[in-house]
Amino acid sequence: MKDKTKLIAAGRPHGRSAHPVNPPVERVSTVLFPTYDDYLEGARTINYGRLGASTHRALEEAVTVLEGGFETRLAPSGLAACNTAILAFVGAGDHVLMTDAAYDPTRKFCEKFLARFGVETTFYDPMSDRDAIAGLMRPETKVVFAESPGSLTFEVQDMPALADAAHANGAVLIADNTWAAGYFCKPIALGADVSIQAATKYLSGHADCLVGTVTSANETAAKKIYMALLQLGSNVSADDAYLILRGVRTLSARLERHQENGLALAKWLAKRSEVERVIHPALKGCPGQATWKRDFTGASGLFAAVLKPAPLPALKAFFNGLKLVGIGFSWGGYESLALPVHPERYRTATAWEEEGPVVRFHAGLEDIDDIKADIDNGFAAMTQAQ
Ligand SMILES: Cc1ncc(COP(=O)(O)O)c(C=O)c1O
């Protein structure tokens, strides 16, 4: 079956002859065992609500199929998925290699939290090749973390090269696959041991809940992830698991439109006099575009534009001039968004040398002409303020 079909069929196990299309929301903390023998059996399988029950299993099964992995577990947010996946593989004295283009809170988790427990992090240039990564490896390096493309600056990473360098050193490769939504890229097929997603974004698709998914490539990784989530006390509500699974059913149709609108908007922006350059993995000039062509089957709706240098009042006027496109931190929902971002504030392994302000755009599902008209109004307000 093709992905589009798998997304419809996966995670719908029903023993009953007549049944609803969707699995029910099974809310649970206490599980009752009819007999002592059932209790003994329960101790080996589901015996309590933490880490979920049937609704969660249905979503996990669908994401496992989507990612092409061995097993998926849910985390309370995308950030929790990133952090728990790292924690599953490190201990005091270990070392992590983290992409310099990582989502800032993932980066902070390494810099602030892991450091308190004696785990050191080195940030690496996201465009590193195999040799560069091999050169940063230490005997105690346990995790190489990739986010491809980076969710602010969109460098597309060479995942097979990263996997190769990690494995040669006995480390694992963990990939944040949120941008591609598990649909346009398969990190596990490219060599990653764990592929995580902020299901909050495209899997949900409706900007109304936070969930993370952690998909392991093999049983060894899966056991570590399971134990880390369990021991950290992670839990996801059945209602949220249900909402994400509902989003999964329409993922392919939504992503096709996000892709279409994203590309159209990026090309339109690239011609604007206010714009210095557009950074979109499918367009020339994006670092790693050749890798994107090799490893991805499409592009989602998130990309950035570097504007020509403009004073702060003009930038404010641009954002305040937007009426349809929202100013918001997230992405992956049905709505278009714009956000001022500051790569220069957090990078350490690489320098961000663009002079102009950077705006990250998420192309939603609206009519593209309406999105363009709204941004056009923003630019008009910006010009007036200059
Ligand atoms: C690439 C990436 N990974 C992880 C996360 C974290 O997801 P959540 O907001 O569900 O914690 C985000 C959120 O913006 C993200 O952009």
Determine the pLDDT at residue 65: 98
Do 22 and 138 belong to one domain? yes
Q: How far apart are CA 60 and CA 178, in angstroms?
A: 16
**Cβ-contact 283, 289 below 8 angstroms:** yes
Do 289 and 171 belong to one domain? no
Residue that finishes a domain, picked among 249, 280, 308: 249
Q: What are the C-alpha distances in Å from 130 to residues 125, 202, 208?
A: 12, 30, 39
**Cβ-contact 145, 84 below 8 angstroms:** no
Do 238 and 270 belong to one domain? no
- 94: domain CATH number? 3.40.640.10
Do 212 and 277 belong to one domain? no
The separation between the first and the last C-alpha atoms of the chain, rounded to the nearest angstrom, is 55
Q: From the CA of 197, how far away is ligand 1's center (Å)?
A: 8
3-state secondary structure (DSSP) of residue 27: coil
Residue that finishes a domain, picked among 196, 221, 249: 249
Do 203 and 300 belong to one domain? no
Do 216 and 121 belong to one domain? yes
Q: Determine the Cα angle at 349 with ends 347 and 351, to 5°.
A: 60
Q: How far apart are CA 57 and CA 245, in angstroms?
A: 10
Do 113 and 125 belong to one domain? yes
Which residue has its alpha carbon closest to ligand 1 atom 15? 103
- The residue ranges of DSSP E strands in the chain, in sequence order, are 71-75, 95-99, 120-124, 141-147, 172-176, 194-198, 212-216, 275-279, 302-307, 326-327, 337-341, 358-362
- 273: domain CATH number? 3.90.1150.10
Do 159 and 301 belong to one domain? no
Determine the pLDDT at residue 14: 66
Q: Determine the Cα angle at 185 with ends 10 and 107, to 5°.
A: 110
Please list the rounded mean pLDDT of every run of 10 residues in the chain (386 residues).
94 80 94 92 80 94 98 98 98 98 97 98 98 98 98 97 98 98 98 98 98 98 97 97 98 98 98 98 97 98 98 98 97 98 95 95 98 98 96
Structural domain of 176: 3-249
Which residues' Cβ are closer than 6 Å to ligand 1?
Answer: 77-79, 82, 103, 147, 151, 176, 178, 198, 200, 210, 212, 330
Determine the pLDDT at residue 311: 96
Determine the pLDDT at residue 146: 98
For residue 346, indicate whether it is catalytic: no
The alpha carbons of the chain give a radius of gyration, in whole angstroms, of 22
Do 257 and 222 belong to one domain? no
Determine the pLDDT at residue 153: 96
Residue that finishes a domain, picked among 229, 249, 269: 249
Q: How far apart are CA 103 and CA 346, in angstroms?
A: 10
Q: From the CA of 41, how far away is ligand 1's center (Å)?
A: 37
Do 343 and 241 belong to one domain? no
Q: Supply the pTM of this predicted model.
A: 0.97
Do 259 and 242 belong to one domain? no
Q: Total domain count for the chain?
A: 2
